[in-house]
């Protein structure tokens, strides 16, 4: 997963990673919100979900201590990290501001 993960985040296009767990109720709440974010931003962003129970090394590397946690990457660099559920506009504003899209 690590080399694949690195190739995913090492792009000029912003990549929002949603670290989640199948047992996490707030993660289930965030999922449709992220779909709305993707629908709004379209090809300007890639959104990927990573199950922390299946990928503990990636979660550990980025110090994901709770789920859901979103991390925005661009060119391999983390630009923004947020735990918990935010509304669509808060997420979009953070992405636009941090990634300058």
Residue positions annotated with a catalytic role: 24, 27
Q: How far apart are CA 33 and CA 18, in angstroms?
A: 11
Give a three-class secondary structure readout of 6-58.
HHHHCCCCCEEEEEECCCCHHHHHHHHHHHHHHHHHHHHCEEEEEECCCCHHH
Q: Is the omega angle on the peptide bond into residue 68 within 30 degrees of 0, that is, cis?
A: yes
């Amino acid at each position: 997963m690590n080399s694949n993960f690195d190739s995913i985040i090492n792009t000029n296009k912003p990549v929002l990673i949603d670290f989640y767990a199948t047992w996490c109720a707030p993660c289930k709440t965030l999922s449709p919100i992220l779909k709305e974010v993707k629908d709004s931003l379209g090809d300007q962003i890639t959104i990927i979900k990573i199950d922390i129970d299946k990928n503990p090394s990636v979660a550990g590397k980025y110090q994901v201590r709770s789920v859901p946690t979103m991390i925005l990457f661009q060119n391999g660099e983390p630009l923004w990290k947020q735990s918990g559920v935010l509304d669509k506009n808060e997420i979009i504003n953070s992405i636009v501001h941090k990634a300058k899209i």
